[in-house]
Amino acid sequence: MADEQTMVTKTSEAPVEPKMEKDPRFEEVTRALEVLQQASVEPEREKRMAVARQALDVSKECIEAWLLLANEAAGDLDATKEYLNEAVAAGDRLFASRRETWRGKFWTVPQTRSYMQARTGLGQLLWDTGERERAVEVLTETLALNPADHQGVRFVLLKALFELERYEDAYAVVEQYPDEQSTPMLYAKLLSAYTVHGDSLLARSAFIAARKQNPHVLDYLTGLRQLPQKLPRQAKAGDESEAIRYVAVYGDVWEQAPGAIAFVRTQKKLRMDKEARKQK
């Protein structure tokens, strides 16, 4: 999956603090979290996991305890998946009565953040272990719960949809972000516009916008330049470093889409020829 696109995005938006009616489950979770604090001072993995299980004895809805177990089980994919499934199930139960009220606001409600982290982690792991359709379901719902997408789920979901050749679904995702001008989103708009509408005014307009944001991507997509063996450690917006990292992640879905690379190669030549004529 697109690891560099899945980083949590920062926001200056103030967290929403909803009025919380008294609920015994939340009170139990609070007590479980107090137990779980001991794990942070335990130097041994088994002791940390034991503390997490003690917290779960207090409340099975303690999502953070399930996440701790998932993190400690790293390397054992089956165990990690089991714990992440439990974390998501715990959140489903805990927020069941608030789900529709808070839909679109998850993550901005601080109490939901561990749940959103669990959903994103589960979606990525399901994809990596071959449960691709379920992964898309999990990630799609995660994005619906927080369209502002403070976690970068949209980029993970888009890569998955492109790989599954669900181009209309990918197009529906990019349409949710009409004002986003990042390189990954603009090239996603270009690829989805071409695969859904073909060589159209919409696709050509998307090409112009993507090229304006980062023209270096086109050189790597079309094979004019080859990716280096070692990727840049950081990417600067609009820079060649960003283009390299983008194509390293998304190059395969471009190659997979029939005619997509030929389309951008043709459009690039047309634009360069037009620009050359203007300079004469």
Residue 213 has pLDDT above 50, yes or no: yes
The pLDDT assigned to 29 comes to 95
Which token pair is 257? Answer: 């889409």
Statement: residue 16 has pLDDT above 60: no
pLDDT in tens, 40-65: 999 999 999 999 999 999 999 999 99
User: Residue 84: phi, psi to the nearest 5?
Assistant: -65, -40
- pLDDT band at 101; cut points 50, 70, 90: very high
Within a 10 A sphere around the Cβ of 113, how many other Cβ atoms?
Answer: 19
Q: SS in 3 state form for 116-169?
A: HHHHHHHHHHHHHCCCHHHHHHHHHHHHHHCCCCCCCHHHHHHHHHHHCCCHHH
The rounded distance, in Å, linking the Cα atoms of 88 and 116 is 8
Token code pair at residue 69: 């177990």
Residue 10 has pLDDT above 60, yes or no: no
15's enclosing H/E stretch is none
Instruction: Look up residue 73 and give its amino acid.
Output: A
Q: Show Cβ contacts of residue 221 under 8 Å, excluding neighbours closer than 6 positions.
A: 247, 251, 254, 261, 264
Q: What is the Cα–Cα distance from 148 to 46, expressed in whole angstroms?
A: 37
The number of CA neighbours under 13 Å toward the Cβ of 235 is 22
Residue 196: Cβ-neighbour burial (10 angstroms; 0-12, 13-18, 19+)? middle
Tokens standing for residue 205: 């307009």
Q: How far is CA 122 from CA 52, 129, 136, 156, 211, in A?
A: 19, 10, 11, 12, 34
pTM, 2 dp: 0.87
User: Could you tell me the two tokens for 110?
Assistant: 């601080």
pLDDT over 60 (residue 279): yes
* 8 Å CB contact between 247 and 187: no
Round to whole Å and give the CA distance between 209 and 196: 18
What is residue 25's predicted lDDT score, i.e. its pLDDT? 86
pLDDT for 89 equals 98
Examine the pLDDT at 20 and tell me if it is beyond 90.
no
* 261 half-sphere exposure, CB direction, 13 A CA radius: 16
